[in-house]
Chain A
Amino acid sequence: MTPQQLPPGARSLLAGRPEHSNLSPLSVHSMTVAYNRKPVLWDVDYDAPAGSLIAIVGPNGAGKSTFIKACLGLVPRASGVVEFWGQPYRAARSRVGYVPQREAVDWDFPVSALDVVCMGRYGRIGWLRPVTRGHRRAASVCLERVGLGGLAERQISQLSGGQQQRVFLARALAQEADLYFMDEPFAGVDAATERAIVDVLRELRSRGTTVICVHHDLQTVPQYFDHVMLINMRVVAAGAIGVAFTSENLQRTYGGRLTLLAEASEAVARAERGS
């Protein structure tokens, strides 16, 4: 399919957009989130480099998902400022996409795969307007992009876990955002889906899009991502993989969990060999 044959929405999707300002896509300043007296995130400062794939890593309960949700205003912040390209979220909303954890929604909900992908375009459709054929076409291009073109009309409960994750990914693509937050996109997926996700992530990066992923598998961090943010209630370290993803920083993030550390040091060693 040549670009000329693509529907209008999809063309801009594949072409990438030129207008990237020098401002950081996400800058967080002393953000604190607390349930009762227990902080979940405490005075977190972070500036995301534009056009990179960023992994958020940290132990369970370290506040990784909360970080994403607090940035998007889905959980209340006790303090702090979050800016997207120097603007508050409200102003930048259409440029920010979000892929929640797969368990966050009811997969028995009566919608088809294509319906779910179309939801990614609701932001540009607007209140009270129907989903037009153009939007549906753009959505099905995104479904094809993740290899699910044939399953557009399937009810979502009849998809496998990996296919469901890919539907979420297609929905994110349909949003055509410049910054994506993804909450554990690799959790519990098959090898084919993992490859599909990596492909999509790389394509996004090549267009200058920034992707911030909560990631659990320390082994694959250096392979899939450029930057890492190590978090355990506070930001322990952040930066390019080669600088921040060190065994010392991992120890400072995870504490004395030996098995994890063994895995991590292996991964670090591999990263060093690779670079």
Chain B
Amino acid sequence: MSPGIHEFISIDLPPMLAGTFACLSCALVGNFLVLRRISLMGDAISHSVLPGLVVAFMLTGTRAAFPMFVGAAAAGLLTVGLVELLRRYARIEPGAAMGVVFSVLFALGVLLLERGAGRHVDLDADCVLNGVLEGMIWFPPSEWSEFATWQTLREVPRQVWTLMAAVAVVGVFVVALFKELRIVCFDPGLATSQGYPASLLNGGLMLVVACVTVASFEAVGSILVIAMLICPAASARMLTDRLSSQVVVSGVIATVCGVSGYVLGAFGPRWLGFDNALSASGMITVVAGVVMTLSMLFGPQHGAAVRFVRRVRFVLTIAREDLLGSLYRAQERGEMSLAIVEVADATGGAGGGLAVRVARRRAILRGQVQERAGRVSLTEAGQKEAASIIRSHRLWESYLVERGGFAPDHVHDAAMRLEHARDTERRARLEPPQPASAIDPHDRPIPPG
């Protein structure tokens, strides 16, 4: 084994594994917090486990994992219970109730840490926030063949095993209770009435959140825990429309964040020529933020950029159809072409001058309109499309007057909007039922379909 690989396995692999496992376990359970709109419960719990840890330490005097774990999980559940109590009996808005409970508990934890426990424990405020990823070291054997022995594996840092167990627990929890979690997140009332008590399932979910928080907390710090409970699930929510795929995608995102965040933190500065590493858990959080931003912008169905493009397209289509329509009307008056300036007036400049200009370009590109010496006219293809638009407009006008009982001079604006309506399934223009005559309320012919 080369020294480089040995160094990597010794110094970088344990924190990378621990960080990734922490990300994965938080992200899987985070899906249900995000869907139930109680993401901030994760924030609250991850703050308030601190006094639980400190009190457990003060009571037992050891840093043994089990009492600390019990203390922190108890503090987590206490938080949930107190918030519920305040919400129900003191009628305090849930956000404020959460804020009160976790800030007081967190303050208590910090104070206890400063006053007493801090002297004996290597728990300090810094490690609460940032974790101890950087401090994890493993001394692996120098030969590959010796890796699988009990002795070697026992020396792997404890956090790696703890977090691996956390991933397993969360994985089993989510897979086994997938159906139950889905129904309780979607419709707690129905869940209860079908024999899956919402309070029981919520309690279970919170207990798992508390356990995951505690297990991750020590290794990666509370900030990364909050980020991982929320960001991967929220990113996956932007990318998928089915709960099962959302859970899988969030897991993939969490794994990618964990590995790449650690690598960027540990090696990124070196690649840039600096010799000190950056905070690994901080960097994982940053990567999670970047992934989330990207998915919010570019998610295929729900991304903001996609929505924006869709809206622009819509505006342009309307402007183009208005252009074709006004050229058709001009033809009916005997003008075979219109000056560009007149067109802008005729279409009312809907969507601003820019939209009109772009729409004209697009109509020319599609071969529906030709431009010569500052005047535009319809091509043969354009003629057909324009007739269909005008037909739709006049059909709507007839419909509104005949069936809707509107006055003929009040229907133009409504028809102006309705003429653009399309059936989403067949992409065809929507047409109202045929009127009795082929003449519209303004005595103009309705072009045949």
Contact = CB atoms under 8 A, between A and B. Distances in A.
Q: Do A and B originate from a single complex?
A: yes
Interface of A: 69, 72-74, 93-94, 96-98, 100, 104-106, 109-112, 115-116, 119, 122-123, 125, 127-131, 155, 171, 175
User: Chain A's interface: helix, strand, loop or mixed, by majority?
Assistant: mixed
Given A109-B35, A123-B194, A123-B195, A100 B189 contact: yes
Contacts of B290: none
Contacts of B191: 122
Nearest to B31: A110
B246 A119 contact: no
Interface string B179-199: 110110111011111111000
Given A110-B246, A112-B242, A100 B182 contact: no
Contacts of A110: 35, 237, 240-243, 246
Contacts of A129: 179
A119 B193 CA distance: 11
Contacts of B180: 122, 127-128
A96 B35 CA distance: 27
When A and B form their complex, which 5 residue pairs have the shortest distance between CB atoms, in order from nearest?
A: A123-B194, A155-B241, A110-B243, A122-B194, A98-B193
Contacts of B240: 110
Contacts of A109: 35, 185-186, 243
A185 to B, nearest CB: 15
A111 B179 contact: no
A74 B180 CA distance: 18
B199 to A, nearest CB: 11
B187 A119 contact: yes
A215 B96 CA distance: 36
Given A93-B193, A175-B194, 7 more contacts: A72-B192, A111-B242, A111-B243, A119-B187, A122-B179, A122-B196, A125-B179
A127 B192 CA distance: 13
A127 B37 CA distance: 24
Nearest to A69: B189
B189 A130 contact: no
B309 interface: no
A74 B189 contact: yes
Contacts of A131: 179
A176 to B, nearest CB: 12
28 contacts: A72-B192, A94-B195, A97-B193, A100-B187, A104-B189, A106-B37, A106-B186, A110-B240, A110-B242, A110-B246, A112-B242, A115-B182, A115-B243, A116-B186, A119-B183, A119-B186, A119-B187, A119-B190, A122-B179, A122-B183, A122-B191, A123-B193, A123-B194, A127-B196, A128-B176, A129-B179, A130-B179, A171-B190
Nearest to A124: B194
Interface in B135-183: 176-177, 179-180, 182-183
Contacts of B237: 110
B258 to A, nearest CB: 24
Interface in B28-75: 35, 37
A163 B182 CA distance: 21
B182 A96 contact: no
B240 to A, nearest CB: 6
Contacts of A115: 182, 243
Contacts of B176: 128
Nearest to B193: A98
B59 to A, nearest CB: 36
B430 to A, nearest CB: 15
Name the residue in A93, A96, A111 with the highest tally of chain B Cβ atoms < 10 Å from its Cβ: A111
Contacts of A112: 242
B193 A104 contact: no
Contact of A128 (B177, B183, B190): B177
Contacts of A119: 182-183, 186-187, 190, 194
A93 B189 contact: no
A93 B195 contact: yes
A2 B180 CA distance: 34
Nearest to B246: A110
A106 B187 CA distance: 8
B187 A105 contact: yes
B28 to A, nearest CB: 15
Nearest to B177: A128
Contacts of A93: 193-195
Name the residue in A105, A110, A112, A127 with the highest tally of chain B Cβ atoms < 10 Å from its Cβ: A110
A163 to B, nearest CB: 13
Name the residue in B183, B193, B240 with the highest tally of chain A Cβ atoms < 10 Å from its Cβ: B193
Interface in B230-252: 237, 240-243, 246
A252 to B, nearest CB: 31
A104 B177 CA distance: 23
A111 B179 CA distance: 11
B186 A105 contact: yes
B168 to A, nearest CB: 17
A175 B190 CA distance: 11
Nearest to B182: A111
Contacts of B242: 110-112, 155
A129 B176 CA distance: 8
Given A110-B242, A110-B243, A72 B183 contact: no
A174 B180 CA distance: 17
A123 B194 CA distance: 4
Contacts of A98: 189-190, 193
A239 B177 CA distance: 44
Contacts of A155: 241-242
B345 to A, nearest CB: 38
Contacts of B185: 109
B346 to A, nearest CB: 35
Contacts of B179: 122, 125, 129-131
Contacts of B190: 98, 100, 119, 171
Contacts of A105: 186-187
A175 B193 CA distance: 11
A119 B180 CA distance: 9
